[in-house]
């Protein structure tokens, strides 16, 4: 009997195609993993009028696509897709199934795993093959404070949902070819128990502070409402937004909208200036995803100073004013 090539399957999550690139990212990683396992990269696509996605997935690394196409599948239905995936997996026995950790994926994947009686690791930030040929799934815990490496030693397929943005997609290859396997819709599919009443695409909300690439945050160390206002000038010059800590908002030096913290807005700027902030956990929990952090505080031991890439020990207000002055000079030229 011919030895079957093991298959790594990537679920085709094509909704929101242009913002959601996770399927392509997974196809890229699957290609790396397949090389180590001498396996082949496949994708699954369920839906209606899906040729575009089939083409995209082949161009981005899939060598085989399992397609179930029917008008009844035109909107995502978790119930139907779970059953389809279960049946396909039982018939074709993939070694690994990868699903993007979108809201859909995070419900879809566990249900498939349960039906197949196998293990699933959620929201992975790493996928590797170890010396025993097992998929090592790296997943965050405690908000990313800890990472766990997990394996599924016996049950198959090995399954993982993967966080979008972790892997890089392979550039579009117009020459790529792949096999398309059309699977007819089973006629004994159970009725979908969840009825879709309405679905509308929400326009992406403008979240100025949460999406800003540069944020200037100020705390009690700015000493007063008028001095705090200087931060707005700095933010304007940097093309960024102003954030504030809770005491500042309570003292009405800034609006509620500016509140950054654990229970408020979480920001992910590439550059964060932090003025006169001590670094209480209620605030810092909102900035853990910040990139380059410059903190200014009279007190060199403030927790915020320890978290920063650059810690400036000086009066926050004076540094703010000096920054504004220097920026104006350099931007003029």
Look at residue 17 and give its three-state secondary structure: coil
Residue 13 or 63 with smaller CB distance to another protein: 13
Q: Give the up-direction half-sphere exposure of residue 194: CA atoms within 13 A in the CB hemisphere.
A: 10
The correct pick among 152, 209, 241, 243 for binding another protein (CB under 8 A) is 152
Look at residue 39 and give its three-state secondary structure: coil
Check residue 191 for interaction with another protein (CB under 8 A). Answer: no
As a whole number of Å, the end-to-end CA separation of the chain is 74
Mark residues 199-238: x for contact with another protein by CB under 8 A, - for none: xxxx-x--------xx-----xx----------------x
Q: Which of residues 249-278 bind another protein (CB under 8 A)?
A: 250-251, 270-271, 278
Residue 172 or 325 with smaller CB distance to another protein: 325
| Residues binding another protein: number (CB under 8 A) | 101
In the complex, minimum distance from the CB of residue 296 to another protein, in angstroms, rounded to a whole number: 9
Check residue 198 for interaction with another protein (CB under 8 A). Answer: yes
In terms of DSSP bridges, do strands 135-141 and 126-129 run parallel, antiparallel, or are they unpaired?
Answer: antiparallel
Check residue 126 for interaction with another protein (CB under 8 A). Answer: no
Q: Which of residues 31-50 bind another protein (CB under 8 A)?
A: none
Containing H/E element for 313?
A: strand 310-313
Sign of CA pseudo-dihedral 240, 245, 248, 249: positive
Check residue 73 for interaction with another protein (CB under 8 A). Answer: no
Q: Torsion over CA of 126, 130, 134 and 139, rounded to 10 degrees? A: -20
Check residue 4 for interaction with another protein (CB under 8 A). Answer: no
Q: Of how many residues is the chain composed? A: 333
Q: Which of residues 129-148 bind another protein (CB under 8 A)?
A: 136-137, 139-148
Using CA atoms, how far apart are residues 71 and 169, in angstroms rounded to an integer?
30
In terms of DSSP bridges, do strands 241-244 and 214-218 run parallel, antiparallel, or are they unpaired?
Answer: parallel
Check residue 106 for interaction with another protein (CB under 8 A). Answer: yes
Check residue 123 for interaction with another protein (CB under 8 A). Answer: yes
In the complex, minimum distance from the CB of residue 311 to another protein, in angstroms, rounded to a whole number: 5
């Amino acid at each position: 009997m011919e030895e079957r090539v093991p298959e790594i399957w990537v679920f085709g999550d094509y909704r929101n195609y242009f913002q959601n690139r996770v399927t392509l990212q997974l196809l890229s990683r699957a290609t790396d993993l397949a090389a180590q396992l001498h396996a082949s990269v496949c994708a699954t696509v369920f839906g209606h009028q899906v040729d575009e996605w089939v083409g995209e997935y082949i161009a981005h690394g899939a060598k085989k696509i399992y397609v179930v196409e029917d008008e009844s599948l035109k909107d995502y239905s978790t119930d139907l897709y779970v059953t389809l995936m279960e049946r396909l997996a039982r018939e074709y026995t993939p070694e690994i199934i990868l699903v993007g950790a979108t809201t859909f994926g995070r419900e879809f994947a566990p249900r498939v795993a349960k039906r197949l009686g196998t293990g699933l690791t959620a929201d992975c930030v790493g996928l590797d093959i170890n010396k025993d040929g097992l998929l090592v799934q790296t997943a965050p815990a405690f908000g990313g404070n800890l990472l766990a490496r997990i394996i599924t030693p016996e049950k198959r397929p090995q399954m993982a949902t993967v966080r979008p943005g972790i892997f890089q997609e392979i550039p579009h290859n117009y020459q790529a070819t792949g096999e398309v396997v059309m699977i007819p819709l089973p006629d004994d599919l159970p009725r979908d128990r969840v009825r879709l009443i309405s679905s509308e695409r929400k326009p992406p909300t403008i979240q100025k502070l949460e999406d800003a690439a540069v944020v200037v945050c100020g705390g009690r160390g700015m000493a007063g409402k008028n001095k705090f206002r200087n931060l707005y000038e700095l933010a304007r010059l940097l093309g960024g937004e102003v954030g504030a800590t809770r005491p500042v908002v309570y003292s009405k030096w800034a609006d509620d909208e500016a509140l950054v913290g654990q229970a408020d807005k979480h920001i992910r700027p590439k550059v964060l200036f932090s003025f006169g902030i001590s670094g209480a956990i209620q605030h810092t929990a909102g900035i853990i995803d910040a990139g380059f952090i410059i903190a200014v505080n009279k007190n060199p031991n403030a927790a915020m100073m320890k978290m920063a890439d650059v810690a400036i020990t000086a009066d926050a207000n004076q540094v703010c004013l000096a920054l504004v002055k220097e920026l104006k000079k350099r931007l003029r030229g």
